A = this chain, B = another copy of it.
Amino acid sequence: MATIAFIGLGHMGGPMAINLVKAGHKVHAFDLVDELVQQVVAEGAHPAADAVDAVTDAEFVISMLPAGKHVEALYVTGDRPLFDVVKKSALIIDSSTIDAATAQRVTAIAAERGLNFIDAPVSGGVGGAIAGMLAFMVGADDAQFAQAKPILECMGRNILHAGGHGAGQIAKACNNLLLGVLMTGTCEALNLGVKNGLAPAVLSEIMKKSSGNNWALQLYNPYPGVMEHVPASKEYQGGFMVDLMFKDLGLAMELSQQSASPVPMGSAARALFSLHKAKGNGTLDFSSVMRLYQDQ
């Protein structure tokens, strides 16, 4: 049983914290929104008055925040930075999806101060968070990864060691760039076939058995009615929002710019999600980009 501070209890962080409680850990939970704290307290977590209070005795600190600036403020530049109060022996796990540059900057500061800070962004969405089926992409040294693994396994199924510090954020950016490409490419191939008379379910099945096979065809078909229970069959409600895909593709663009890496396909995908978002579709599931292709 470990004592764990959990900061950031939103759509993802809330269920993740609850899964830690269910696994028997002592979880000190904090969020700026008190209502979110109460939700996890109702499941057995301990409420913390503030972030400092949450981490004081923690062996593990887990944060789940929207962007790099929030992470940097929490640990380094805010009014009461956690790096000033956390125990030297604690392992700090940032599961936020943030830009790799900030992750590496915060990691370097932690290292200077003798603290253990690793990046472990997740993939799998709200459904995966609730079911404890997330994938974690971890940037850490071997000892830190070994220490983090049993804790992360309470929240996820695939705990993947991407490399040294920052590598988790980089792997996440690469994966989600590719996801953006797969999803738009799949939408466009399906639309091309349907406009030429093919049945979407038949074409999906053919491509799944051929070299067009990919995650979207297997688990997340974007054409309404082909697959049950996916957002496409629920008016694109739930799932992974267009706004978040647009954010993640923006992080990939930053990474490509800093490292001078060409990303023509990811750039084209970002442009398509951007055109789709401009028409008011930011809160729909990202597979709704199907509609951008379709005739009015």
Residues of chain B with a CB closer than 8 A to A256's CB: 192, 274
Q: A90 at the A/B interface (Cβ < 8 Å)?
A: no
- Whether B188 and A185, one on each chain, are in contact in the complex, defined by CB atoms closer than 8 angstroms, is no
- Whether A274 and B252, one on each chain, are in contact in the complex, defined by CB atoms closer than 8 angstroms, is no
Distance between A155 CB and nearest chain B CB, rounded to angstroms? 15
Q: Given the interface contacts A195-B259, A264-B188, A296-B279, does A211 sit within 8 Å of B215 by beta carbon?
A: yes
Pick the residue among B176, B203, B255 that contacts A162 (CB under 8 A). B203
- List CB contacts (< 8 Å) of A240-282 with chain B: 246, 250, 252-257, 259-272, 274-275, 277-280, 282
Residues of chain B with a CB closer than 8 A to A205's CB: 160
Pick the residue among B135, B189, B260, B275 that contacts A209 (CB under 8 A). B135
- Whether A262 and B250, one on each chain, are in contact in the complex, defined by CB atoms closer than 8 angstroms, is no
Residues of chain B with a CB closer than 8 A to A176's CB: 211-212
Residues of chain B with a CB closer than 8 A to A293's CB: 261-262, 275, 278
- List CB contacts (< 8 Å) of A171-214 with chain B: 171, 173-179, 181-182, 184-186, 188-193, 195-199, 202-203, 205-207, 209-214
- Whether A268 and B270, one on each chain, are in contact in the complex, defined by CB atoms closer than 8 angstroms, is no
Distance between A161 CB and nearest chain B CB, rounded to angstroms? 8
Residue of B nearest to A164 (CB): B197
Residues of chain B with a CB closer than 8 A to A296's CB: 278-280
- Whether B267 and A212, one on each chain, are in contact in the complex, defined by CB atoms closer than 8 angstroms, is no
Residues of chain B with a CB closer than 8 A to A255's CB: 192, 196
Q: A81 at the A/B interface (Cβ < 8 Å)?
A: no
Q: Given the interface contacts A198-B162, A250-B257, A263-B274, does A210 sit within 8 Å of B123 by beta carbon?
A: yes
- Whether B270 and A267, one on each chain, are in contact in the complex, defined by CB atoms closer than 8 angstroms, is yes
Q: A5 at the A/B interface (Cβ < 8 Å)?
A: no
**With the chains together, A182 CA to B260 CA distance in Å?**
22
Q: A292 at the A/B interface (Cβ < 8 Å)?
A: yes
Q: A16 at the A/B interface (Cβ < 8 Å)?
A: no
- Whether B215 and A175, one on each chain, are in contact in the complex, defined by CB atoms closer than 8 angstroms, is no
Chosen A-B contacts, 20 in total, with CB atoms closer than 8 Å, are A164-B197, A167-B197, A170-B193, A171-B203, A174-B192, A175-B212, A179-B210, A184-B264, A184-B265, A188-B266, A189-B266, A213-B218, A260-B282, A261-B274, A262-B274, A262-B278, A265-B265, A268-B268, A275-B293, A280-B296
List chain A positions with a Cβ less than 8 A from chain B. 100, 123, 135, 137, 158, 160-164, 166-167, 170-171, 173-179, 181-182, 184-186, 188-193, 195-199, 202-203, 205-207, 209-215, 218, 220, 246, 250, 252-257, 259-272, 274-275, 277-280, 282, 292-296
